[in-house]
A and B are shown apart, each in its own frame.
Chain A
Amino acid sequence: MKRSIAPLFWLPFGAGGMLAALIGPALVLITGLMAPTGIGLSPEYMSFARARAFAHHPLGKLILFGVIALFLWHGTERIYLTLRDMHAAGKLALMWLCYGAAGALTIVTLAALAVIG
Chain B
Amino acid sequence: MPPDAATAIAAREIVIQVLRYRPGTDREPVRQAYRVPFTDDMSVLQGLQYIKDHLDGTLSFRWSCRMAICGSCGMMIGGTPRLACMTVIREYYPGPFTVEPLAHFPIERDLVVTVGGFIKKIEGIYPYLIPKTQRRLDEGEYLQTPLQLARYETFSDCINCMLCYAACPQFGENPDFIGPGVMALLQRYNGDSRDGAQEKRMELVHTDNGAWSCTAVGYCSEVCPKQVDPANAVNQNKTRSALDYFLRFLGRPGGSGSAASGEVNP
- Do A and B assemble together? yes
Using a CB–CB distance below 8 Å, which chain A residues touch chain B? Answer: 1-4, 6-8, 10-11, 14, 81, 85
CA of A4 to CA of B210 in the docked complex: distance in angstroms? 9
Q: Which of A1, A6, A14, A85 contacts B212 (CB 8 A)?
A: A6
Residues of B within 8 A of A81 (CB): 215
Given known pairs A1-B203, A1-B204, the reply for A7 and B215 (CB within 8 Å) is no
Chain A residues in 8 Å Cβ range of B169: 85
Contacts of B203 in A (CB 8 A): 1
Residue B238, interface by CB 8 Å: yes
Q: Do residues B206 and A1 form an inter-chain contact, with CB atoms below 8 A?
A: yes
CA distance A14 to B240 in the complex (A): 13
Q: Nearest residue in B to A3 (C-beta to C-beta)?
A: B206
Which residues 63-105 of B sit at the A interface, judged by CB distance below 8 A? none
B207/A3 in contact, CB under 8 A: yes
Task: Give 26 A-B contacts (CB < 8 Å), ordered by A residue.
Answer: A1-B203, A1-B204, A1-B206, A1-B207, A2-B207, A2-B208, A3-B206, A3-B207, A3-B245, A4-B206, A4-B207, A4-B210, A4-B212, A6-B212, A6-B242, A7-B242, A7-B245, A7-B246, A10-B212, A10-B238, A10-B242, A11-B242, A11-B246, A81-B215, A85-B173, A85-B215
Which residues in B have some Cβ–Cβ distance to A below 8 Å? Answer: 169, 173, 203-204, 206-208, 210, 212, 215, 238, 241-242, 245-246
Residues of A within 8 A of B207 (CB): 1-4
Q: How far is the CB of B121 from chain A (nearest CB, A)?
A: 14
Contact A6 B215 (CB under 8 A): no
Contact B246–A4 (Cβ < 8 Å): no
CB distance from B219 to the nearest CB of A (A): 13
Taken together as a complex, chains A and B put the C-alpha atoms of A7 and B242 apart, in Å, by: 5
Which residues of B are found within 8 Å of A7, using beta-carbon distances? Answer: 212, 241-242, 245-246
Contacts of B173 in A (CB 8 A): 85
Residues of A within 8 A of B242 (CB): 6-7, 10-11, 14
A11 to B240, CA, bound (A): 11
Give chain A residues whose Cβ lies under 8 Å from the Cβ of B204: 1
B259 CB to nearest A CB, Å: 15
Contacts of B215 in A (CB 8 A): 81, 85
Docked CA distance A84–B169 (Å): 12
A4 to B206, CA, bound (A): 6
Complex: A1 Cα to B241 Cα, angstroms: 14
Q: In whole Å, how far is A56's beta carbon from the nearest beta carbon of chain B?
A: 32
* A6–B207 CA distance with the chains assembled, in angstroms: 9
**How close is B250's CB to chain A, nearest CB, in angstroms?**
15
Residue of B at shortest CB range from A2?
A: B207
* Cα-based distance from A87 to B238 in the complex (angstroms): 23
Whether A6 touches B208, Cβ cut-off 8 Å, given contacts A1-B203, A85-B169, is yes
**Which of chain A's residues have a CB closer than 8 A to the CB of B241?**
7
Q: Residue on B with the closest CB to A77?
A: B215
Chain B residues whose C-beta falls within 8 Å of the C-beta of A6 in the assembled complex = 208, 212, 242
- Could you tell me the distance between the alpha carbons of A6 and B203 in the complex, rounded to whole angstroms? 14
Please indicate the chain B residues that have their CB under 8 angstroms from the CB of A10 in the complex: 212, 238, 242
- Residues of A near B246 (CB, < 8 A) are 7, 11
CA distance A6 to B245 in the complex (A): 10
Closest residue of chain B to A81, judged by CB? B215
